[in-house]
Amino acid sequence: MNTENTKTAESGGVDFIRAIINEDNKTGKYDNRVNTRFPPEPNGYLHIGHAKSICLNFGIARDYNGICNLRFDDTNPSKEEQEFVESIQADVKWLGFDWEDRMYFASDYFDQLYEYAEQLITSGKAFVCDLTQEQIREYRGTLTTPGKESPYRNRPIEENLDLFRRMRGGEFEDGAKVLRAKIDMNSPNIHMRDPVIYRIMRTHHHRTGDKWCIYPMYDFTHCISDSIEKITHSICTLEFEIHRPLYDWCLDELGIYHPQQIEFARLNLTYMVMSKRMLLELVKEKYVNGWDDPRMPTLAGMRRRGYPAAAIRAFCATIGVTKVNSLTDIALLEYCIREELNKTAPRFMAVQRPLKVVIENYPEGQTEQLEAVNNPEDPGAGTRLVPFTREIYIEQDDFMEDPPRKFFRLAPGREVRLRYAYFITCKEAIKDDAGNVVELRCTYDPATKGGDAPDGRKVKGTLHWVSAEHGIKSEVRLYDRLFTAENPADAPEGKTYKDNLNPDSLEILDNCYLEPALGGLESSCTCQFERLGYYCLDPDSTPEKPVFNRTITLRDTWAKLRKKGKA
RNA sequence: UACCCCGUGGUGUAAUGGUAGCACAAGUGGUUUUGGUCCACUUAGUCGAGGUUCGAAUCCUCGCGGGGUAGCCA
């Protein structure tokens, strides 16, 4: 077993949590055991922020030859659904992690949790309180003023036990009574002011059905669940820092095995929101087309968008783990995606906005099969044949009638290379009545077959193309950032994050042409459309009409030049 | 204004009392049958003031700034 972690391929190095574990292993605190857990509540889909936690927890287990459990924190049935339980499992697996036979549910512990609650009552550390919700709030005090004790605080133990059993038995209305830990109403930490640990709630639970009408609260459940599972390091996000004294209190009062809670800063990404409430709203109010909309920061959305799991893992390793509240530039994620895809994605040619080109001196009816490289980064990927004909499509952006200085593509009288094919020269641009260029008449040089001129002459531009006769018609969906503000959740007075929605986050192109090899593509594979970007097949595809999602564009220095007005 | 946490280039991080480094972003050149990739280079940082020390991003004090916490949510 590794007791000291140094560096592994997928972890960024020794973060502060691994440093704590190294120290614990030095002192033998947990007998050099490492057991983490990923504990989502099944009330929504997992997002990239969860990926950070998953990579951390499963990554630590991997690095120390320990184990990581998947545990559903399902103690509030009013928000939880089986659909989410399933999507969470699918997403963790897709990300590349395996909990093996260790999938647990907090609801599996309801019986034990109940016993521990009785134990707390018996030791005089918990009481049944009849105060209303509003009264409890008043008695709690505020951030700057102490609370005051509930009049029910000193009920005899036997009475508390009896009342709690009758709560479980369904004798009282929802909300009529709660079980509270008896700690300290003067604590500067509000979470220690006799926190509620059980409430009456007649809600059907997605796993335990109607067996229970009382449900334990997070603070009581989580520490005990960790204890039951013999977790060593219970890693959670910063907002639970203030809950740690309660976590420790419960386990100490119960006198049971005591894991160590460690908090880290959650992920924030520019131009994205990560709150479950907001994501749920985007879905319910149809600002996006479901949880797996490719614009969503959900893992399901990113998967559909074509982001490789390896890229997300690399991203999580790159951002590191600290306690600093931060806002990570989405460009870093995009870099990781491009880096992964550049290595792995097979290349193809596709035209998004077609402009017909007729090669006047190319024989009518002739088809040549030209050899194209599948991936210049991977010689083992081999080659394929692409059909070339007299009429082809090129990209509208690749022609300008009156080009600026630094435009290297096609223009009247100019010669360019068609990738893997021939040099062509533009002879004439044909326009419609409105003056739009609708067709180009060109000639080709037969001696340049394959793309090289025997006389050594050079061209500045190389264009992608698709045979008009052989091209597969397709729909392509172009995605842009969902929000226009760097930090959409941080909206000005009177506005909400929804006012920061980008109205142009989705553009649908329905007249695109694909080279024939794209017809037999596997749906799970993200490929490159040369010179355009990375794309993947969407589940909306039909045999008649494939639909592609643009995962991300290639880096485009030409677009950057134009944007800055330098060209 | 109570308690807790956190402040290193534009962004994310490393340096655990001993040369402030890496990545992204930005920019400049080179290579190139993808204006991709790749390569080289440039810009730019320890929140502030004291203190301890031969030596401080690191330890101490006081400020300043940011975040969290008042669910019968997690």
Q: Which is catalytic among the residues A266, A353, A441, A481?
A: A266
Question: Structure tokens of A351?
Answer: 């035209």
| Letter string b/e over residues A146-162, b meaning 16 or more CB atoms within 10 A of that residue's CB | ebeebebeebeeeebbe
CA distance A150 to A12: 50
Question: How long is the CA A329 to C1' B61 vector, in angstroms?
Answer: 36
Question: Structure tokens of A567?
Answer: 């060209």
pLDDT value at residue A566: 59
CA distance A529 to A506: 19
Question: How long is the CA A323 to C1' B52 vector, in angstroms?
Answer: 28
pLDDT value at residue A87: 98
CA distance A411 to A565: 20
Q: Cα dist. A390→A372, A444, A461 in Å?
A: 18, 10, 20
Q: Which is catalytic among the residues A29, A79, A153, A276?
A: A276
pLDDT value at residue A13: 80
Q: Which is catalytic among the residues A4, A10, A29, A41?
A: A41
Which nucleotide C1' is nearest A147 CA? B70
Average confidence (pLDDT) per 10 residues, chain A, 567 residues: 51 89 94 97 98 98 97 98 98 98 98 98 98 98 96 98 98 98 97 98 98 98 98 98 98 98 98 96 98 98 98 98 97 98 98 98 98 96 97 98 94 98 98 97 98 95 98 98 95 91 97 95 88 97 94 96 75
pTM of the shown model: 0.96
For chain A, the C-alpha Rg in angstroms (whole number) is 31
Told to judge if A395 belongs to the known catalytic residues of this protein, a careful annotator would answer no
Q: Which residue's alpha carbon is at the shortest distance from the C1' of B69? A: A242
Chain-centre distance for alpha carbon A377: 27
A10 in helix, strand or coil? Answer: coil
Phi, psi (deg, nearest 5) at residue A473: -75, 140
Nearest CA among A128, A52, A61 for reference residue A92: A52
Pairing relation of β-strands A423-431 and A437-444? antiparallel
Start-to-end Cα distance in chain A: 59
Which residues 6+ apart lie within 8 Å of A378 measured at CB? A343, A344
pLDDT value at residue A520: 80
Nearest CA among A421, A395, A558, A409 for reference residue A476: A395
Question: How long is the CA A302 to C1' B44 vector, in angstroms?
Answer: 33
CA atoms within 13 A on the CB side of A11: 22
Which nucleotide C1' is nearest A140 CA? B70
Strand B: which positions are within 7 A of a protein CB? Answer: 1-8, 10-16, 23-27, 33-38, 66-74
Q: What is the dihedral of CA A222, A228, A231, A235, to 10 degrees?
A: 0
Question: How long is the CA A311 to C1' B24 vector, in angstroms?
Answer: 14
Q: For residues A185 and A147, is the Cβ–Cβ distance under 8 A? A: yes
In order, the DSSP letters of A122-175 are HTT-EEEE---HHHHHHHH--SSS-----TTTT--HHHHHHHHHHHHTT-S-TT
Nearest CA among A288, A118, A269, A262 for reference residue A198: A118
Told to judge if A266 belongs to the known catalytic residues of this protein, a careful annotator would answer yes
Sign of CA dihedral A76, A77, A80, A83: positive
Q: For residues A256 and A224, is the Cβ–Cβ distance under 8 A? A: yes
CA distance A124 to A295: 52
Q: Which residue's alpha carbon is at the shortest distance from the C1' of B70? A: A142
Q: Cα dist. A336→A514, A524, A533 in Å?
A: 26, 19, 14
**DSSP 3-state percent helix, strand, coil across chain A (nearest 5):** 30, 25, 45
Pairing relation of β-strands A383-388 and A466-467? unpaired
For every residue of A212-261, which 3-state class applies, written as one string? CCEEECHHHHHHHHHHHCCCCEEEEEHHHHHHHHHHHHHHHHHCCCCCEE
Nearest CA among A66, A74, A70 for reference residue A25: A66
pLDDT value at residue A255: 98
Told to judge if A507 belongs to the known catalytic residues of this protein, a careful annotator would answer no
CA atoms within 13 A on the CB side of A28: 1
pLDDT value at residue A303: 98
Which nucleotide C1' is nearest A131 CA? B72
Question: How long is the CA A15 to C1' B58 vector, in angstroms?
Answer: 16
Complex-level ipTM beyond the 0.85 threshold: yes
Q: For residues A280 and A224, is the Cβ–Cβ distance under 8 A? A: no
Sign of CA dihedral A168, A172, A174, A176: negative
